[in-house]
């Protein structure tokens, strides 16, 4: 026996992909010239798989802020904030996040995954109960595993099922932690958050919303689905990331409970991780200001999202339940999905290929993420390339 034997199935699958001449996972972006254009594995492409929702990765103000911080404070912090100390920028960003969300407390983590995993895994512990939507992200599942709490899954986007499970907990429901997402990243569907918040309030539980894909996308000032649904007062914790609408890297947890600050002394993903580089903090702070005032960017993003969704719907594609910045086509087989991904790349469109078990429906997905930076011509080109595939293989993605 070898420690590597457990990977044999994976190795076989990767060899099969190489034999087909397709390697969609970890595709090499050899050049990137803007928020929407680059060269991927030798092919000049429209970037339609980046989650760069507001297109801020090339914003001049963000770049200049990062450059200035790089020159003034160096390339990195080389340690955790508890051990090495916090830079002034870290504290400023936390205060700005708290102000942006209108809450008492904020903690900045080094990635979105660490923020979600660390928050879930620290807020709940042995003897507690966590109820999570079945389609929650891997970081949430990892947090539940680390917590030692009892974990109960409820049916995806089903507030009635959540209520049934809370009812069975009896008095324990008042201390339970419910975790859902604003926009689910695979199919782009939204949580029925008003219904879930109402259930939460009836039982006195705590509610965490992962707004990773909805910050900057939903809400009057871009605070996410909780703002759009009008239920921010019922949400106890919001977690999210800087790597989507804010165009950088990092994550956060904010809360109206001042006790959140205690989490930074217990969350291993905060205590034992080097803090974000000053250049990342600086660019993120500028991006947050742009996001808050960026209703025109959100409007452009939604125009692009609706345009692509409607075009693909008319072409007969199997899509997620409603338009949004994530538009995913369901494809009948893994072989078909692999070939389609390669053909799209050759035709100048880069999207994400997602295969089971990562997909919530068990089907294969070609996942496209729109950006406010995409031009109408680029959106139309994405639609044309995808439509051509469906028309050539009408039974592979039919509504």
Active-site residue list: 185, 213, 244
- The end-to-end CA distance of the chain, in Å, is 47
Q: How many residues does the chain have?
A: 399
Beta-sheet pairing, 129-133 with 177-181: parallel
Contact 386, 352 (CB under 8 A): no
DSSP letter (8 states) at residue 3 = T
Residue 34 CA, chain-centre distance (Å), reads 21
- Between CA 224 and CA 220 the distance in angstroms is 9
- Residue 349 CB neighbour total at 10 angstroms: 25
User: Tokens representing 76?
Assistant: 């990195």
User: Tokens representing 358?
Assistant: 């990562």
- Between CA 201 and CA 199 the distance in angstroms is 5
Contact 269, 343 (CB under 8 A): no
Ramachandran bin of 55, using left for φ above 0, alpha for ψ from -120 to 50, beta for the remaining angles: left
- Between CA 348 and CA 345 the distance in angstroms is 5
Residue 29 CA, chain-centre distance (Å), reads 20
- Between CA 139 and CA 245 the distance in angstroms is 19
Long-range pairs of 89-97 with CB within 8 A, sequence gap ≥ 24:
89/278, 89/281, 89/282, 89/285, 90/275, 90/276, 90/281, 92/285, 93/281, 93/284, 93/285, 93/288, 94/252, 96/285, 96/288, 96/289, 97/252, 97/254, 97/288
């Amino acid at each position: 026996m070898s420690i590597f034997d457990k990977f044999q199935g994976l190795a076989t699958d990767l060899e099969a992909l190489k034999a087909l001449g397709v390697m969609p996972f970890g595709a090499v972006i050899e050049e990137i010239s803007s928020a929407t254009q680059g060269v991927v594995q030798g092919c000049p492409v429209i970037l339609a798989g980046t989650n760069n929702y507001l297109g801020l990765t090339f914003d001049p103000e963000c770049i200049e802020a990062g450059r200035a911080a790089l020159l003034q404070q160096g390339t990195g912090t080389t340690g955790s904030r508890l051990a090495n100390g916090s830079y002034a920028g870290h504290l400023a960003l936390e205060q700005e996040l708290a102000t942006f969300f209108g809450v008492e407390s904020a903690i900045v983590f080094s990635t979105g995954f660490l923020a979600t995993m660390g928050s879930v895994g620290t807020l709940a512990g042995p003897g507690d109960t966590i109820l999570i939507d079945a389609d929650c992200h891997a970081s949430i599942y990892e947090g539940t595993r680390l917590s030692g709490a009892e974990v109960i899954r409820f049916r995806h986007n089903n507030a009635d099922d959540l209520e049934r499970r809370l009812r069975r907990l009896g008095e324990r429901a008042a201390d339970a932690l419910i975790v859902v997402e604003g926009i689910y990243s695979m199919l782009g569907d939204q949580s029925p958050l008003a219904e879930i918040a109402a259930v939460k309030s009836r039982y006195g539980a705590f509610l965490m919303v992962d707004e990773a894909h909805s910050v900057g996308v939903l809400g009057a000032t871009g605070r996410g689905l909780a703002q759009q649904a009008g239920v921010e007062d019922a949400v106890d914790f919001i977690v999210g990331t800087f790597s989507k609408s804010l165009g950088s890297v990092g994550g956060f947890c904010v809360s109206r409970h001042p006790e959140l600050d205690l989490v930074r002394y217990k969350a291993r993903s905060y205590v034992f991780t080097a803090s974000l580089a000053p250049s990342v903090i600086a660019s993120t702070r500028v991006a947050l200001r742009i996001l808050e005032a960026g209703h025109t960017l959100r409007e452009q993003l939604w125009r692009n999202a609706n345009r692509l969704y409607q075009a693909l719907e008319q072409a007969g594609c199997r899509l997620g339940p409603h338009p949004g910045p994530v538009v995913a086509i369901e494809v009948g087989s893994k072989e078909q999905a692999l070939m389609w991904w390669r053909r799209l790349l050759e035709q100048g469109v880069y999207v994400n290929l997602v295969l089971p078990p990562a997909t919530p429906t068990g089907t294969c997905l070609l996942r496209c993420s729109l950006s406010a930076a995409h031009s109408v011509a680029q959106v139309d080109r994405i639609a044309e390339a995808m439509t051509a595939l469906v028309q050539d293989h009408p039974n592979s993605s039919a509504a």
